[in-house]
């Protein structure tokens, strides 16, 4: 397009008056569409015959150069396209635009298509890359090897996180190839525990936006905000309002690291196309005084909006998502505070395809861990007694799914099944005498028992076989608590699930040492293997990444319109089936992450099958082999050849 100065020049102006209007008059070429059409036609006429096909792939810079040449031929001056190097007394507005198919310099800066040194000689000639790259041509495998070598030089996890995010913004396929091939090593880098620190410092490490930010300032214009996203075929949205990021509290707008990280796992582990994923942060302010006073904070500097103002924005957002992307887009709520998480899930589960990973995803993977643990400790799910420390989203979500599975196995009423499950919150054991003061989501777990104020008292009184921590408070499974569990259980099941690692209720080393190596242990964040009495114990990680990528893929391939609890149970049962005796011998109740894409395909098939069975699937006819179909739908990051 012409620069402001060139547009003001008489010869250039006459060139653009073919529609009969003046450049700034509102007639002729004032619309963006008209400007693009005419610029494109000028470019094609000016191009030599042998480059006509390449013209369709020119970048904005190449197009601007063609325009300069034509302006010069018409007697005008060939200026830079925005007039940025020669300021004018009166700047005229210009319209930046580019063709959708890139080549040359812009191709190297397009993360979706850039291959770096992996461009072949033929591709370098065809796409005007010769000279823009060093002469060497390397394979994607060698690129992976080099970057892994570079990442291992960093001693600080956050430096690795930043390097990975930079790679994602530079070369998308290489990022996912790297993550898939080294998933066990890099999962803690792109997600927990490192993502927690990344969110805390997001303003300082912010480079460029990786998702959409919907703030209170956009109220009444949310649909327009969504339209600004370049992709239209969105299948999965992960959205947060940043109020309860992991166990770190209110991080406001800087919670964006969570949706970005989750969706990178949807692609790497579940095979959902990157272009079909959309991370979103709802910015309604923050109550974190440290962030409000941080000069690098990137969000709205005000106290968090609540009540009607908050829910009006959320309602506008949910309506806009359904309007622009349809009812088959999966909306995953992530890290909302308890008081909003349950309300939002209940409100929109009947009208939208919604899923809360903190409530439902965590529950599904923990249930899978419990089903797997039974192969080690024996008994049925209904024969065990469960005690939770923490009665928030995760704790009550897990408890409810356990009760549902017990009900499914025994045909007993759900109310009876809940009586096997006890919860301790900050005020002590949840009992009937506290019912009037309990939040609604806690009331189903109030049972007949004398009030107890400490976890140790609850353990000694209830004598659970399973102890699960979702409190978000580190080191609350004390030596006395763990030893009490070991005193009346030959193989105590201890799940220390809070993230990040510093908030874990106990470490793997503590669990094994305090139970003489008898504990069946799992954690939310990764722990290193522990040697006790000459035996190496590899602690299992009860990571939601086992479930939500495959669950999301199953929803997508079936075209499901709603999430049903039976789909979550199907995901849990399928994951539990993947754990083998070899895993148990090492002390782990979960299969290795190296097999995660195969596991995700199996989970996707089970979830899709349940969606078809429940009449919630819309992609018809149903594929005969859902697992093979799931595998065929999974995104692969191998470089594609360009013609």
Catalytic residue selected from 128, 161, 176, 191: 191
User: Cα separations (Å) of 457 from 435, 488, 510?
Assistant: 20, 14, 20
3-state secondary structure at position 277: strand
Whether 262 is a known active-site residue: answer yes
First CA to last CA across the chain, in angstroms? Answer: 27
In degrees, rounded to 5, the angle at the alpha carbon of residue 546 between the alpha carbons of residues 596 and 468 is 145
347 catalytically annotated: no
Tokens of 176: 């996912």
Cis before 632? omega within 30: no
Nearest to 210 by CA among 174, 252, 172: 172
SS3 call for 637: coil
Distance of CA 582 to the CA centre of its chain: 31
Instruction: List alpha helices for 488-547, DSSP H.
Output: 508-514
Separation between Cα atoms, residue 42 and residue 36, nearest integer Å: 10
Taking the CA atoms of 620, 623, 629 and 632 in sequence, report the sign of the dihedral they define. Answer: negative
Longest pairwise C-alpha distance within the chain:
94
Contact 482, 509 (CB under 8 A): no
- Percent composition of the chain: helix, strand, coil (DSSP 3-state, to 5): 50, 10, 40
Alpha helix (H) residue ranges in 390-497: 393-410, 414-418, 455-462, 479-487
Catalytic residue selected from 201, 262, 420, 602: 262
Parallel, antiparallel or unpaired: strands 212-215 and 277-283: parallel
Specify whether the CB–CB gap between 362 and 493 falls below 8 A: no
Q: Could you write out the DSSP letters of every residue in 570-585?
A: HHHHHHHHH--HHHHH
SS3 500: coil
How many other CB atoms are found less than 10 A from the CB of residue 511?
32
**C-alpha span between 552 and 271 (Å, rounded):** 9
- Best CA proximity match to 263, nearest among 315, 307, 329: 329
- Strand segments, DSSP code E, in 426-558 are 428-429, 466-469, 493-496, 520-523, 530-532, 535-537, 540-541
Q: Which phi and psi angles does 207 have, rounded to 5°? A: -110, -60
Active site residues per annotation? 191, 262
């Amino acid at each position: 397009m012409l620069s402001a100065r060139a547009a003001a020049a008489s010869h250039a102006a006459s060139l653009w008056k073919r529609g009969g209007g003046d450049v700034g008059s509102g007639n002729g070429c004032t619309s963006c569409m008209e400007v693009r059409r005419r610029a494109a036609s000028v470019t094609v006429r000016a191009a030599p015959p042998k480059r006509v096909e390449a013209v369709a792939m020119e970048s904005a810079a190449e197009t601007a150069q063609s325009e300069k040449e034509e302006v010069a031929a018409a007697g005008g001056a060939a200026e830079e396209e925005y007039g940025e190097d020669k300021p004018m007394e009166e700047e005229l507005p210009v319209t930046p635009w580019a063709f959708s198919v890139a080549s040359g310099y812009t191709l190297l800066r397009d993360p979706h298509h850039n291959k770096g040194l992996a461009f072949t000689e033929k591709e370098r000639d065809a796409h005007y890359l010769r000279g823009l790259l060093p002469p060497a041509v390397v394979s994607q495998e060698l690129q992976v090897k080099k970057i892994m070598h570079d990442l291992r030089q960093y001693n600080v996890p956050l430096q690795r996180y930043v390097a990975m995010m930079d790679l994602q913004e530079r070369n998308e396929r290489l990022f996912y190839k790297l993550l898939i091939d080294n998933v066990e090593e890099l999962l803690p880098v792109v997600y927990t525990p490192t993502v927690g620190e990344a969110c805390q410092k997001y303003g300082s490490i912010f480079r460029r936006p990786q998702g959409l930010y919907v703030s209170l300032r956009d109220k009444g214009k949310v649909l327009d905000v969504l339209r600004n996203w370049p992709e239209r075929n969105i299948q999965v949205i992960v959205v947060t309002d940043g109020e309860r990021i992991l166990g770190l509290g209110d991080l406001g707008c800087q919670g964006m690291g969570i949706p970005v990280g989750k969706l990178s796992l949807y692609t790497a582990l579940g095979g959902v196309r990157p272009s079909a994923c959309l991370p979103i942060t709802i910015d309604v302010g923050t109550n974190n005084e440290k962030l409000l006073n941080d000069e690098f904070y990137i969000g709205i500097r005000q106290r968090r909006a609540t009540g009607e103002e908050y829910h009006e924005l959320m309602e506008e957002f949910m309506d806009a998502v359904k309007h622009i992307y349809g009812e088959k887009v999966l909306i995953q709520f992530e890290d909302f505070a308890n008081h909003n998480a349950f309300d939002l899930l209940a409100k929109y589960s009947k009208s939208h395809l919604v899923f809360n990973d903190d409530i439902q995803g965590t529950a599904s993977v923990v249930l899978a861990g419990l089903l797997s643990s039974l192969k080690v400790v024996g008994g049925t799910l209904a024969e065990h007694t469960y005690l939770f420390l923490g009665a928030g989203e995760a704790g009550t979500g897990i408890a409810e799914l356990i009760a549902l599975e017990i009900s499914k196995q025994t045909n007993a009423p759900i109310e009876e099944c809940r009586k096997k499950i006890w919860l301790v919150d900050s005020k002590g054991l949840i009992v009937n005498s506290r019912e009037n003061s309990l939040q609604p989501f806690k009331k189903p777990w109030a049972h007949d028992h004398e009030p107890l104020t400490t976890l140790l008292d609850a353990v000694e009184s209830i004598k659970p076989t399973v102890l699960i921590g979702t409190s978000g408070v580190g080191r609350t499974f004390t030596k006395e608590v763990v030893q009490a569990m070991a005193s009346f259980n030959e193989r105590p099941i201890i799940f220390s699930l809070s993230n990040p690692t510093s908030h874990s209720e106990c470490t793997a080393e503590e669990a094994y040492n305090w139970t003489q190596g008898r504990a069946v242990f799992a954690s939310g964040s990764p722990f290193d293997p522990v040697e006790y009495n000459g035996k190496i114990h590899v602690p299992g990680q009860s990571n939601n990444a086992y479930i939500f990528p495959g669950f999301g893929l199953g929803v997508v391939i079936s075209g499901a319109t709603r999430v049903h609890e039976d789909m979550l149970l199907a995901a849990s049962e399928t994951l539990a089936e993947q754990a083998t005796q070899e895993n148990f011998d090492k002390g782990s109740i979960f299969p290795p992450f190296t097999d995660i894409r195969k596991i995700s395909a199996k989970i996707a098939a089970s979830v899709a099958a349940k969606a078809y069975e429940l009449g919630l699937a819309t992609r018809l006819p149903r594929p005969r082999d859902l697992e093979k179909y799931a595998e065929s739908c999974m995104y692969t990051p191998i470089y594609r050849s360009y013609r």
